[in-house]
């Protein structure tokens, strides 16, 4: 028995030594032993859960090919041409002479909106020349005619006469586009024709220029947009046009994740006005206002934190006739939420004079709905920067009689130091480039059609009623 116990103890000791030796010298370092433990079933739903699919499956279910196929053949390449002189010897170089050559000055994109060849693009794509060429996706090229321009909205309308019915993109409703919705940007970045990129709508009613009286209202997207995309299409997954790609925010000049498009409802309204009237017919509410700030909220005891605060109401405007008041806060228009001033201007700019809109306002903590008939926007004054003066509409017919004329605009202010040296305030400009002018809007329209650096000829009526002509060169 003692011998058995001795042998058992020896075996036990040997086993312990063997195990210790393995642990110290033979077991691989840094490895962990994998174990499996069954977990009880849970009854919560992950935050990515939607209709029994995960987020990756949801993204894969979106078919971008349909929208791409419907739109890529309706987006064109717009080239802007100019001429330059190429001197052939030193004599021609120093005398600014030489052989004229037609050269490309710039390029962008455009969107065919009718089968007979009407095209919408950005104004800055075609600014400076009427020598334009449009190339389709099938490489056919046509000379384009400028039908109309809306510089303030950065929209222009072109027309080509093709020998076939053209593919076009129908307008969609940009008001119903939602943040987070998938979109495609179609255009010609860096002269790479027929390029399609995808992204989502990042924001709506984006105002990029705080000095522009909050008149801008862009759709923001993270679809890649680069130089050359300007004037191209922003479309939804149905292939409907919901925006005209216009600008990017970048410190490098190339795409960094922020692109902006003119909403399709605004572009469509401008196109229709140009085709019907030859110019944009703007409807206005007739108020001045701003976003709600903590100071305004406290001063006027406003109960809401979003909306447009009405600072003043113009006399004889639709807003005045409808009973809107200073201190009212606009919360909705036609059921569309108004959170800031660019929401308001973006919607109103898609409407026409005499349209009736339903405006919901908060007045003394109570909500009321007021129908408002939009007034027609009339330009009262305009700065002619190339001359250095501000002109305004004639205050009365009697004023014209003093200068022995029946039309014209009055010089209301001298802007440049050079013009401030002359006694010109109050004088009448009766013609610009040989065309009679009757109001500030007409002056703006004439000058918008001119090329940069082109001479401007004005007919000035002095205090004696004498007509004098002056040519202003850049």
Query: Element (H or E) spanning 145, and its range?
Result: strand 141-150
Q: Are 110 and 119 in contact (CB under 8 A)?
A: yes
User: Is 230 labeled as catalytic in the residue annotation?
Assistant: yes
Q: Which residue has the tokens 């987006």?
A: 75
What SS3 state is found at 128?
A: coil
Q: Report how far residue 443's alpha carbon sits from residue 171's, in angstroms, rounded to the nearest whole number.
A: 32
Residues in the chain: 474
Q: Of the residues 124, 355, 386, 448, which is catalytic?
A: 124
User: Is 124 labeled as catalytic in the residue annotation?
Assistant: yes
Q: Are 326 and 335 in contact (CB under 8 A)?
A: no
Q: Of the residues 202, 205, 217, 230, which is catalytic?
A: 230
What SS3 state is found at 273?
A: helix
What SS3 state is found at 230?
A: coil
Q: Are 362 and 329 in contact (CB under 8 A)?
A: yes
Q: Report how far residue 246's alpha carbon sits from residue 229's, in angstroms, rounded to the nearest whole number.
A: 8
Paired strand residues for 372: 357
Q: Are 350 and 263 in contact (CB under 8 A)?
A: yes
What are phi and psi for residue 434, nearest 5 degrees? 80, 0
Q: Of the residues 77, 154, 222, 317, which is catalytic?
A: 154
Whole-Å CA distances, 444 to 116, 151, 407, 455: 30, 10, 16, 15
Catalytic residue ranges = 124, 154, 230
């Amino acid at each position: 028995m003692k011998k058995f116990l001795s042998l058992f103890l020896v075996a036990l000791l040997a086993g312990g030594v063997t195990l210790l030796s393995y642990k110290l010298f033979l077991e691989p370092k840094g490895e962990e032993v994998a174990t499996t433990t069954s977990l009880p079933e849970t009854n919560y739903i992950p935050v990515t859960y939607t209709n029994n699919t995960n987020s990756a499956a949801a993204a894969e279910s979106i078919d971008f090919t349909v929208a791409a196929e419907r739109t890529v053949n309706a987006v064109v390449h717009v080239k802007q041409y100019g001429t330059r002189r190429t001197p052939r010897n030193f004599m021609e170089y120093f005398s600014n002479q030489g052989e004229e050559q037609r050269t490309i000055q710039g390029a962008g994109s455009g969107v065919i909106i009718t089968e007979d060849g009407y095209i919408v693009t950005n104004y800055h794509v075609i600014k400076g020349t009427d020598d334009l060429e449009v190339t389709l996706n099938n490489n056919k090229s046509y000379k384009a005619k400028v039908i109309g321009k809306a510089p303030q909205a950065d929209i222009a309308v072109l027309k080509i006469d093709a020998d076939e019915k053209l593919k076009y993109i129908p307008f969609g409703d940009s008001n119903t586009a939602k943040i987070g919705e998938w979109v495609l940007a179609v255009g010609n970045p860096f002269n790479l024709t027929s390029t399609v990129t995808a992204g989502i709508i990042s924001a709506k009613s984006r105002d990029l220029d705080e000095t522009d009286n909050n008149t801008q209202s862009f759709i923001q997207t993270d679809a890649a947009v680069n130089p050359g995309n300007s004037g191209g299409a922003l479309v939804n997954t149905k292939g409907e046009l919901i925006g005209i790609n216009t600008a990017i925010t970048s410190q490098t000049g190339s795409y960094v994740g922020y692109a902006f498009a003119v909403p399709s409802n605004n572009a469509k309204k401008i196109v229709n006005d140009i085709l019907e009237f030859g110019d944009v017919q703007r409807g206005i509410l007739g108020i001045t206002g701003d976003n709600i700030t903590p100071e305004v909220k406290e001063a006027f005891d406003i109960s809401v934190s979003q909306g447009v605060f009405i600072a003043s109401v113009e006399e004889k405007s639709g807003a005045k006739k409808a009973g809107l008041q200073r201190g009212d806060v606009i919360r909705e228009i036609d059921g569309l939420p108004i959170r800031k001033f660019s929401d308001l201007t973006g919607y109103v700019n898609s409407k026409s004079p005499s349209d009736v809109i339903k405006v919901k306002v908060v007045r003394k903590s109570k909500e009321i709905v007021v129908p408002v008939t939009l007034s027609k926007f009339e330009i009262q004054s305009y700065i002619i920067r190339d001359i250095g003066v501000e002109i305004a509409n004639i205050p009365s017919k009697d004023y014209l009689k003093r200068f022995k004329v029946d039309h014209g605009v009055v010089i209301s202010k001298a802007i440049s130091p050079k013009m401030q040296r002359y006694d010109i305030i109050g004088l009448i400009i009766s013609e610009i480039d040989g065309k009679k002018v009757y109001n500030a809007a007409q002056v703006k329209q004439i000058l918008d059609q001119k090329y940069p650096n082109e001479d401007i000829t004005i007919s000035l009526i002095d205090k004696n009623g004498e007509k004098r002509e002056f040519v202003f060169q850049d």
